[in-house]
Amino acid sequence: MSENKAPFYITTAISYPNGRPHIGHAYEAIATDVMARFQRSRGRDVRMVTGTDEHGLKMFQTARDQGRATIDLADEMSEYFREMYAKLNISYDNFMRTSDAAHHAASQAIWRAMEANGDLYLDRYEGWYSVRDEAFYDESELAEGEGGIRLSPQGTPVEWTVEESWFFRLSVYQDRLLALYRDQPDFIRPESRRNEVLRFVEGGLKDLSVSRTSFDWGVPVPGSPGHVMYVWVDALTTYLSGLGYPDTDGDFGKFWPANIHMIGKDIVRFHTVYWPAFLMSAGLPLPKQVFGHGFLLNRGEKMSKSLGNVVDPMALAEQFGVDPLRYYLLREVSFGQDGTYSAEAIVRTANADLANSFGNLAQRSLSMIFKNLDGVVSSDYASHEDDRALMAIVDDACRTLLPREFEQLAFSVGIEEWLRAVFACNHYVDTQAPWALRKSDPERMRAVLMTLFQAVRALAIAIRPVVPAAADKLLDQMGVAPDARDFDALEEADWFAALAASGFTVGQPVPLFPRLELPEGAGEA
């Protein structure tokens, strides 16, 4: 099977639900969903797994402080993530909760495999631990905060912890990890993340504490009463349990190893040092790539409750529309780098690109076919050099340039190539002036409008992974069958003649992207 048709497995990070989802969760989910939809549209059998990482001390303490059972908090918070995914049109195949019995079985299976390989031993842990990060840090990594508080590299408080613990022999995997980074340079992307991890591992690895005894909210360590697994052993295993592991047939046999783990840059170390070492120890294949995307900043500032600038993605989707929000986040943020957003920027981009450019192109084209040709789609027209030149630009953008960039997760670059084709179509409308041709040369008008019909269809199919609801609404109006909306359909030469022969007629088109207005009271900061 060729690589471009092989099964494709992609995951988001498994979100920690001690609070409601924020715009960063939405951004990651949207980017992952766009890649999943894109690969499906390329004809690949895709699995997208997401979920909630519900164990660990932070969840335990949050629930305790609220005077409730930890599972009740997990149930409530997990549901907020499901609601966000539904609102944002996220097409995941499996939503895993680490509190599920099937996930416990998977976590215990990989534990036993690591133990059988001789990589787990019982000892006493003394060191610095960040509850907020659910991470252990070496003394050399810490900084001093106000009042003498010790801070992790993420700026979170750490506390001295002493307890009996199982340890994983991470130190023995240093050379194998360095060989992995050397031999598979795309294992960690973008390059800046790879360099950070390389420096960390070259500095030397210490064995990792992988169990806790100070609380019981977690996956029990098999054969070791009183111990629960370190939350990152458990959380990372979600990528396996989401495919049915430890059953190695079925989805696991078909889709593992993962093509891409899509994660935030702050958890790259866990995914590119601990995770591959665990998998090596358990004798399992390694994921092909870990991509650490950047943060979303609110008007250039990192979001925090103290600044009062934390934004609910559900509110943004309600205010501006799901497809405009999805489009903005992938169009304006160079994927892999930090990006900024504001209400003004969302409105400006959505109006310029979607309402004024693509939406207006589709509305004008279909309206003129409806009004001037009684909606009749016809393949009986004489093609002109200008028509062929336009379709060459559109075909290149939709069949070659956008797919090439999306394959590399360069979403903003791919959308820019698509947008150039949209601009070319609008220029073609202005120069051909079909409204004037109606009287002077009706046959030429027909050719122009039929060319535009074909161009709009191609543009809609290409951008469909980003704005699926709007693209499908447009393709419905154009009589394009639901099973003829993928990239293979762009290669079909006879689709237009077949549509015309079917007697399809265009009805009064419905606008795709109403112009957005800035919320009252909002303005440039």
CB hemisphere CA count around 300 (13 angstroms): 2
Q: Say what the pLDDT of residue 521 is.
A: 58
The enclosing H or E element of 209 equals strand 208-209
**Contact present, 120 and 168 (Cβ < 8 Å):** yes
Q: Considering just the CA atoms, what is the radius of gyration of the chain in Å?
A: 26
Q: What is the C-alpha separation between 491 and 157, in angstroms, rounded?
A: 56
Pairing mode of beta strands 290-293, 188-189: parallel
pLDDT computed for residue 358 by the predictor: 98
Q: Distance between CA atoms of 480 and 474, rounded to whole angstroms?
A: 9
> Which residues of the chain form CATH 3.40.50.620?
3-294
- 516 is written with which tokens? 């957005």
Segments of the chain scoring below 50 in pLDDT: 1, 523-525
Query: For the chain, percent helix, then strand, then coil, each to nearest 5?
Result: 55, 15, 35
How many whole angstroms separate alpha carbon 227 and alpha carbon 221? 6
| Pairing between β-strand 8-12 and β-strand 46-52 as defined by DSSP bridges | parallel
Class of 343-501 in CATH: mainly alpha
> How far, in Å, CA of 85 to CA of 30, rounded?
9
Give CATH 1.10.730.10 domain extents, the chain.
343-501
Separation between Cα atoms, residue 256 and residue 460, nearest integer Å: 32
φ, ψ for residue 122, nearest 5 deg: -95, 135
- CATH level 2 (architecture), domain 3-294: 3-Layer(aba) Sandwich (3.40)
Q: What is the pLDDT of residue 524?
A: 43
